[in-house]
């Protein structure tokens, strides 16, 4: 039977909520662990890996984890971000994550918005690097919402179907 791991990095809880929804959407032999607890991955045949977009990219811890994934391991990637869905600002990090996991078999990707605290926004929006996404971010304050959690569950089920066909 497929052994599934859901692992995530989350500083303010948004990505963790999505990870929990993915976990709920899955059936079978499943485990959920934060990235810090999930260093032994050999036993798992499918791994969901989630992260918050930071500075248009993948947090360093996740980058290191993705680069170590063994050849051919089945994975699915998910992220949360403050910028508008579909904007290149939201897509780039997930695309980069897929590129650096190129030894793995990426079965799917999912992303949704996650609220950014007003205090963080006030600080970040002052730096040119963060200007573009932080201008979009205030409208993310209701996310992840119920719809995002439902979408995450559907994503989990879809990836499981793909994994079973593989």
Asked whether position 15 contacts ligand FMN by CB under 6 A, the answer is yes
Stretch of 27-35, 65-73, 76-84, 155-163 contacting ligand FMN, by CB under 6 A:
76-84
CB atoms within 10 A of CB 98: 16
Lookup: tokens for 22: 């993915």
Rounded CA separation 21/80 (Å): 13
Asked whether position 10 contacts ligand FMN by CB under 6 A, the answer is yes
Nearest CA among 19, 164, 150, 154 for reference residue 77: 19
User: Which residue from 41, 89, 100, 162 is in contact with ligand FMN, where contact means CB under 6 A?
Assistant: 89
- Nearest approach in angstroms of CB 8 to ligand FMN is 7
Rounded CA separation 112/77 (Å): 12
Residue ranges that bind ligand FMN, judged by CB under 6 A: 10-16, 52-56, 80-83, 89-90, 114, 116, 120, 124, 133
């Amino acid at each position: 039977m497929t052994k599934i791991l859901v692992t995530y990095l989350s500083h303010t809880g948004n990505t963790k909520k999505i990870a929990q929804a993915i976990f709920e959407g899955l059936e079978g032999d499943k485990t959920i662990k934060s990235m810090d607890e999930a260093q032994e991955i050999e036993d798992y045949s499918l791994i969901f890996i989630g992260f918050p977009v930071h500075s248009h990219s993948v947090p360093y811890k996740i980058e290191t984890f993705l680069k170590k994934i063994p050849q051919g391991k089945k994975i699915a990637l998910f992220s949360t971000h403050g910028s508008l869905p579909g904007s290149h600002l939201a897509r780039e990090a997930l695309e980069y994550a897929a590129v650096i996991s190129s030894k793995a078999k990426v079965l799917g990707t999912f992303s949704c918005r996650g609220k950014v605290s007003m205090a963080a926004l006030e600080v970040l929006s002052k730096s040119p690097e963060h200007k573009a996404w932080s201008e979009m971010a205030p409208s993310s304050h209701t996310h992840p919402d119920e719809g995002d959690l439902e979408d995450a569950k559907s994503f989990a089920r879809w990836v499981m179907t793909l994994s079973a066909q593989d």
